[in-house]
Structure 1
């Protein structure tokens, strides 16, 4: 029976040892889970703007704001349909040239009895369109210099009128020069 007692004693010792190991492992797992949940806290993110490059932005980018700050901020985006004056002028003048350029060229030629048989209106229109940004800037500066108290709409109208007048004048001058070269060339 002594061997039976020894066997039971060893078995009990083994069970108690395994029980201690299980408790120890459970304790370690619990500590690990607590530590892991605390590690998800991000304390600081640094942005280096000299390294930031945005090629295409769809949506809204808020730099330096937390989600809580966003709920208190007004919408800072430009409302749809509102574009800066220069962009709007460029768009309007390009549309003007596209829709009225060919007729304008023919009318000026007819009124002044110039021949435009050897002239491609699309080339003239394209050339004028390339010069629009520079001319808009020129007349915008001129309007600010001369007419300090104009509203944005009045300034836009002034610039439009000046450029349309310049287009008309430039086409007339071009046709006069081209017509006189044709007269001298045919003699």
Structure 2
């Protein structure tokens, strides 16, 4: 025969059962939340693995591209890409003439000796203008030139071209600053015109390099398709 608790003892038992039920419900809610977190982490891991696979495919595609070697005369740029390494040389060193000009290894260009007077105080400002151009206008210029030739350069290739030019911009700016004569009277308007003339030369060289590089890439792509 069963005996059910009654009185104070029965009330205590009921309270305990209610508390246990509440704890069970809380534990179930925590378990459900953990399961959701695990599902979200699994999805993130799968997305990351897919992105890594895409990047690996792009790297392999770039590595399979044939070497590029393009040479130009003075006041232009040399663009060479061998085994996936891109070098764009800005070299102001003319030797016996334009036709005999030979582009040296990037980073070895010689510029006129630094003096205590002349253009030296203006060179830092010119370099800042050059860097600003590379950060703001040059990416759009390169993309536009590629688009005009029916090409769409990958972001990694765009960064490689822009980065290589930016790294070598200083020697080109120093060459023009030290070889283009300063205005005789040194007025502010004349100095501004002198600065603008130097930057126009530098920008023209950079855009010429972009055009020649893209034209060569387009020609190579057309040649591969025709094979």
TM-score scaled to structure 1, two decimals? Answer: 0.49
Larger strand share, 1 or 2: 2
Q: Please tell me whether Structure 1 or Structure 2 has the larger radius of gyration of its CA atoms.
A: 1
